[in-house]
Amino acid sequence: MPKSPPPTPRPYTKETSDPFLKTEWLALRKRYFPDRPDIDSYTVVWSRRDQKRTLASCNTQKRRIRVARELDLDRYHCWLAPLLYHEMCHAVLDRKVSKSGKKFLWHGPEFRQLEKMHPETASLDNWIAEGGWAQAVRSHRSRVAHAKR
Q: What is the mean pLDDT of each run of 10 residues along the chain (149 residues)?
A: 66 81 98 97 92 90 95 96 97 80 80 94 96 89 74
The pLDDT of residue 100 is 76
| All structural domains of the chain with their residue ranges | 19-42+54-147
With 0-12 CB in 10 A as exposed, 13-18 as middle and 19+ as buried, what is 47?
middle
* Domain 19-42+54-147 class in CATH: alpha beta
**Pairing, β 103-104 against β 43-46:** unpaired
The structure's pTM equals 0.84
